[in-house]
A and B are shown apart, each in its own frame.
Chain A
Amino acid sequence: MRLARLAVAGMAAFASGARAEAALPPGVPDVPAIQSAYADAKADNADRHLDDLTVHSADCSPIDAGRFYCQISYLRARDDAAEHLYFTVVTMEPGPGHWILKSGLCRGDGTVH
Chain B
Amino acid sequence: MFGSASPRAVALFALLLAMATTAARADPLPEPRVFTSTSGVLDILMVARAAPIRTFPFFEPTGWVYDICPRPADGSLSCPAKGAGANLYGGSRLALQPGDLLKVRLVNALPRNPDADHVKDPGHGYLALNPTNIHTHGLEVSPRFPTVDNPTYGDTVFVMTLNPKNGPLPPDAALHGDVRIGYTDYRIAIPKSHPAGFFWLHPHVHFIAMNQISSGLAAIITIGDVEDYVCKDAACAAALGRMSIRHILLKDAQITKDNRLKNQQDLEFCQKRNGPAPKTPGRGFCKGVDLGAGDANYSGGRWYFSLNGVPYPAIAMKNAAGEIWRITNTSANATYNLQLWNPQQKRNMLLQVLSLDGIAVDASNAELRAAAAITGGRVPAEPCPGSPSGIAHKALCARSILMMPSSRAELWVVDRDAKDEVVKARAGDRAVFRTAGISTGPVGDHWPAIDLGAVSFSAAGSADLPQALDVAGPSHAEIPARVAADLAPANAKIGANADCKPLPAGHLRRIFFGLDAANPTKSLGLGYEEIDAKGTTVPGTFQDIAAFDPSIPTVCVPLAAGNKPVTERWQLVNLTPADHNFHIHQMKFGVVGDPQVENGSAATNGILVDNVPLPQADGTCKTVADWRQHKCTAHPVKVDLPFAIAGDFVYHCHILLHEDNGMMARIRVRASR
List residues of A whose CB falls within 8 A of some B CB.
Answer: 56, 61, 63, 69, 71, 73, 75, 80-89, 91, 102-104, 109-111, 113
A84 to B169, CA, bound (A): 23
- Give the contacting residue for A88; candidates B174, B175, B496; CB below 8 A: B175
B495 interfacial contact with A, CB 8 Å? yes
Given contact pairs A81-B493, A81-B495, A91-B171, A110 touches B177 in the complex (Cβ within 8 A): yes
Show 11 residue pairs from A and B whose CB-CB distance is below 8 angstroms, ordered by the A residue.
Answer: A69-B168, A75-B148, A81-B493, A82-B493, A83-B148, A84-B147, A85-B146, A88-B178, A91-B168, A109-B123, A110-B550
Instruction: Check A85 against B177 for contact (C-beta < 8 Å).
Output: no
**B172-187 interface bits toward A, Cβ cutoff 8 Å, 1 = contact, 0 = none:** 1111111111000000
B159 interfacial contact with A, CB 8 Å? yes
List residues of chain A with CB within 8 A of the CB of B495. Answer: 80-82
Instruction: Check A87 against B176 for contact (C-beta < 8 Å).
Output: no
A73 to B174, CA, bound (A): 18
In chain B between 118 and 165, which residues have their CB closer than 8 angstroms to a CB of chain A? 123, 145-149, 151, 159, 162, 164
Instruction: Check A109 against B148 for contact (C-beta < 8 Å).
Output: no
A69 to B165, CA, bound (A): 13
- Give the contacting residue for A89; candidates B148, B169, B551; CB below 8 A: B169
Instruction: Check A85 against B145 for contact (C-beta < 8 Å).
Output: yes
List residues of chain A with CB within 8 A of the CB of B517. Answer: none
A75 to B149, CA, bound (A): 12
Of all chain A residues, which has the CB nearest B158?
A113
B497 interfacial contact with A, CB 8 Å? yes
Sorted nearest first, the 9 A-B pairs with minimum C-beta distance are A110-B175, A103-B171, A83-B147, A87-B178, A85-B146, A71-B181, A88-B179, A80-B497, A84-B145
List residues of chain B with CB within 8 A of the CB of A71. Answer: 180-181
Secondary structure of the B contact surface, majority rule: loop
List residues of chain B with CB within 8 A of the CB of A85. Answer: 145-148, 151
Distance between A69 CB and nearest chain B CB, rounded to angstroms: 5
List residues of chain A with CB within 8 A of the CB of B366. Answer: none
Of all chain B residues, which has the CB nearest A71?
B181
List residues of chain A with CB within 8 A of the CB of B181. Answer: 69, 71, 89
**B19-47 interface bits toward A, Cβ cutoff 8 Å, 1 = contact, 0 = none:** 00000000000000000000000000000
B394 interfacial contact with A, CB 8 Å? no
List residues of chain B with CB within 8 A of the CB of A82. Answer: 147, 493-495
Instruction: Check B179 against A89 for contact (C-beta < 8 Å).
Output: yes
A88 to B173, CA, bound (A): 12
B434 interfacial contact with A, CB 8 Å? no
List residues of chain B with CB within 8 A of the CB of A88. Answer: 175, 178-179
A110 to B164, CA, bound (A): 19
List residues of chain A with CB within 8 A of the CB of B173. Answer: 103, 109-111
Distance between B559 CB and nearest chain A CB, rounded to angstroms: 14
B54 interfacial contact with A, CB 8 Å? no
Instruction: Check A103 against B169 for contact (C-beta < 8 Å).
Output: yes
Distance between A21 CB and nearest chain B CB, rounded to angstroms: 25
Instruction: Check B175 against A111 for contact (C-beta < 8 Å).
Output: yes
A84 to B670, CA, bound (A): 14
Given contact pairs A56-B148, A82-B493, A109-B175, A87 touches B159 in the complex (Cβ within 8 A): yes
Distance between A85 CB and nearest chain B CB, rounded to angstroms: 4
In chain B between 186 and 240, which residues have their CB closer than 8 angstroms to a CB of chain A? none
Instruction: Check B179 against A111 for contact (C-beta < 8 Å).
Output: yes
Of all chain A residues, which has the CB nearest B172?
A109
Of all chain A residues, which has the CB nearest B123?
A109
Distance between B52 CB and nearest chain A CB, rounded to angstroms: 31
A63 to B181, CA, bound (A): 14
List residues of chain B with CB within 8 A of the CB of A91. Answer: 168-169, 171
